[in-house]
Copies of this chain bind each other. A is one copy, B any other.
């Protein structure tokens, strides 16, 4: 088994002999066998164990066991008690989710602090078969059919080639002690159901289940890589990224033969739903601008020629900031700073970075908000109001930015200043008789 283990690591470039590895060690047979293989393989590793305190004495026993095991192999051992019930309550997530989040947060901390190259978990072939069936039952794409990745970023699963039976046999042969497997917290019920009910039925008619699923996994891993290459090639041609905003050319998209699939592959990562993606595809063929699609994290906006994809700025959905008096005027401190100053000789009104307004006539409450249909604005040096949307068009403001721009309005909801574009309403420009100035600094 050691030979097969080493060959797998070498052939699939999982890690190198002198990498520094962190092993997630529960004390169950899988991770105990992995620890032994790492030790015999002469690898440089440490172990980390989470004590979720969910099972009282039993959990503490696991922790003691892991500490002794680390001693045996003379490797460093990190343990941490975690109160997942409290975390789950605080964050409003399930206990499973809490356990997962807390574990990985801690692992990442350890990796950052000690410079580990990889985090190893002991997932094996039986886990993978269950995972694949679960994915299928819940609805899956290609990545679901290839199951657990052998290597993804800093996460490595070098035991995926072994069956549970092989692992237990190795433990018995090498007289390794282990604790009864603590149940895998994530999707415990469904997974156990698949393991205990469905897998045995499949095995009845397919005794070769391991070889078949390994073949399936290989096939779908390769297919997934090929699909990624294809989609990346299309997106590379169609898309530019600037300041975290993706700009996607419609003209390139509509030439793509497999557009629905490409959009799906790309947009589902940004949490757009199947139905939205189908709608989005239809819009690609139209020269209509202004349509928006919101996912829980992102917004996709159709302009005439391009599509913009950007993160939903939380501040943006907080639509208005109101200041009722001078004290409240630091209302939008993330990007802008507001100061009211007496107009004196040493104020350099034309310093480029900052904007100065004639404050004497400004009446509270002041309001920061985004543009609305019908908004008008009086440009400096003009004596009439112009539609703000026309001004945006003149200044070539892309659609998605139009909605991001903050406007400062007076108590009558007249726009006195247009943020980002730094336009001052002619009525509020600083004059000779200005006594107080409102200084707006853009950070």
Number of copies: 2
**A:216-236 near B, CB below 8 Å:** 216, 219-220, 222-223, 225-227, 229-230
Tell whether, in the assembled complex, residue A141 and residue B206 are in contact, meaning their CB atoms are under 8 Å apart: no
Tell whether, in the assembled complex, residue A227 and residue B227 are in contact, meaning their CB atoms are under 8 Å apart: yes
A145 to B230, alpha carbons, bound, how many Å?
Answer: 20
Interface size class of A (residues with CB under 8 A): 35 or more
**A:240-266 near B, CB below 8 Å:** 257-258, 260-262, 264
A2 to B230, alpha carbons, bound, how many Å?
Answer: 39
Question: Which of B137, B139, B202, B257 is A137 in contact with, Cβ under 8 Å?
Answer: B202
Tell me whether A198 is interfacial, beta carbon within 8 Å: yes
Asked whether A205 and B229 contact (CB < 8 A) given A139-B215, A198-B198, A216-B139, the answer is: no
Beta-carbon contacts of A400-418 to B below 8 Å, as 1s and 0s? 0000000000000000000
Question: Which of B138, B197, B225, B258 is A226 in contact with, Cβ under 8 Å?
Answer: B258
- Could you say which residues of chain B place their CB within 8 Å of the CB of A204? 193
Tell me whether A94 is interfacial, beta carbon within 8 Å: no
Tell me whether A140 is interfacial, beta carbon within 8 Å: yes
A418 to B262, alpha carbons, bound, how many Å?
Answer: 56
Tell me whether A212 is interfacial, beta carbon within 8 Å: yes
A223 to B261, alpha carbons, bound, how many Å?
Answer: 7
Tell me whether A201 is interfacial, beta carbon within 8 Å: yes
A264 to B216, alpha carbons, bound, how many Å?
Answer: 13
Tell me whether A190 is interfacial, beta carbon within 8 Å: yes
Tell me whether A155 is interfacial, beta carbon within 8 Å: no
- Could you say which residues of chain B place their CB within 8 Å of the CB of A219? 140-142, 261, 264
Asked whether A274 and B197 contact (CB < 8 A) given A137-B205, A227-B223, the answer is: no
Tell whether, in the assembled complex, residue B142 and residue A142 are in contact, meaning their CB atoms are under 8 Å apart: yes
Tell whether, in the assembled complex, residue A139 and residue B212 are in contact, meaning their CB atoms are under 8 Å apart: yes
Shortest Cβ distance from A134 into B: residue: B205
How far is the CB of A208 from the nearest CB of chain B, in Å?
9
Tell me whether A333 is interfacial, beta carbon within 8 Å: no
- Could you say which residues of chain B place their CB within 8 Å of the CB of A138? 206, 212
- Could you say which residues of chain B place their CB within 8 Å of the CB of A142? 142, 219-220, 223
Shortest Cβ distance from A194 into B: residue: B205
Tell whether, in the assembled complex, residue A258 and residue B225 are in contact, meaning their CB atoms are under 8 Å apart: yes
Tell me whether A393 is interfacial, beta carbon within 8 Å: no
Tell whether, in the assembled complex, residue B198 and residue A202 are in contact, meaning their CB atoms are under 8 Å apart: yes
Tell me whether A136 is interfacial, beta carbon within 8 Å: yes
- Could you say which residues of chain B place their CB within 8 Å of the CB of A222? 258, 260-261, 264
Question: Which of B140, B216, B257 is A229 in contact with, Cβ under 8 Å?
Answer: B257
How far is the CB of A120 from the nearest CB of chain B, in Å?
26
Beta-carbon contacts of A367-403 to B below 8 Å, as 1s and 0s? 0000000000000000000000000000000000000
- Could you say which residues of chain B place their CB within 8 Å of the CB of A136? 136, 216
- Could you say which residues of chain B place their CB within 8 Å of the CB of A190? 205
Tell whether, in the assembled complex, residue A226 and residue B230 are in contact, meaning their CB atoms are under 8 Å apart: yes
**A:348-380 near B, CB below 8 Å:** none
Shortest Cβ distance from A223 into B: residue: B142
Q: List 14 A-B pairs, Cβ < 8 Å.
A: A137-B202, A137-B209, A140-B216, A197-B201, A198-B202, A201-B201, A215-B274, A222-B258, A222-B260, A222-B261, A225-B257, A225-B258, A226-B261, A229-B230
Q: Which residues of A contact B (CB under 8 A)?
A: 136-142, 145, 190, 193-194, 197-198, 201-202, 204-206, 209, 212, 215-216, 219-220, 222-223, 225-227, 229-230, 257-258, 260-262, 264, 274
- Give the 7 A-B CB pairs with smallest separation, nearest first: A222-B261, A226-B258, A139-B212, A137-B206, A139-B215, A197-B201, A230-B230
